[in-house]
Amino acid sequence: MDAPIGPATGPGFEENEIGTDSVFSAGTDLTSGGDAKTDHGGEYGLIRRRRRKPLIAVVEGPALGGGFEIALACDLVVASTTARFALPETRRGVVATSGALFRAVRALPLPVAKELLITGAGLSAERAHRFGLVNTITEPGAALREALVLAADICESSPVAVRQTLAALADQYVAADEIGWAATARAIDGVMGSEDLQEGIQAFFERRRPEWRGR
Is residue 48 very low, low, confident or very high in pLDDT (cuts 50, 70, 90)?
confident
Told to judge if 115 belongs to the known catalytic residues of this protein, a careful annotator would answer no
**Catalytic-labelled residue, pool 69, 115, 139, 178:** 69
pLDDT of residue 5: 53
Lowest average pLDDT, out of 36-45, 72-81, 114-123, goes to 36-45
Catalytic residue among 89, 139, 146, 211: 89
Query: Which of 82, 100, 124, 123 is closest to 44 using CA atoms?
Result: 100
At 75 the three-state DSSP class reads coil
**H or E segment and range at residue 78:** strand 76-80
Q: What mean pLDDT do residues 202-207 have?
A: 92
Distance from C-alpha of 137 to C-alpha of 146, rounded to nearest angstrom: 9
For residues 187 and 101, give the distance between their C-alpha atoms in angstroms, rounded to a whole number: 9
Output the average pLDDT for the chain: 84
Per-residue model confidence (pLDDT) at position 4: 52
Residue 118 lies in a domain: yes
Assess if residue 83 is contained within a domain: yes
Whether residue 211 lies inside any domain: the answer is no
Output the domain CATH number for residue 175: 3.90.226.10
Number of domains in the chain: 1
Structural domain including 184 reads: 2-206
Active-site residue flag, 211:
no
Lowest mean pLDDT among 11-20, 28-37, 123-132: 28-37
Domain assignment present for residue 213? The answer is no
Lowest mean pLDDT of 30-34, 70-74, 86-90, 208-212, name the range. Answer: 30-34
Is there a domain that residue 214 lies in? no
Is residue 7 situated within a structural domain? yes
Q: List beta partners, residue 80.
A: 138
Instruction: Determine, yes or no, domain membership for 215.
Output: no
> Chain centroid to CA 199: how far?
26
pLDDT of residue 51: 79
Instruction: Specify whether the CB–CB gap between 109 and 102 falls below 8 A.
Output: no
d(CA 169, CA 28): 22
* 212 within domain boundaries: no
Average pLDDT of the segment spanning 115-128:
96
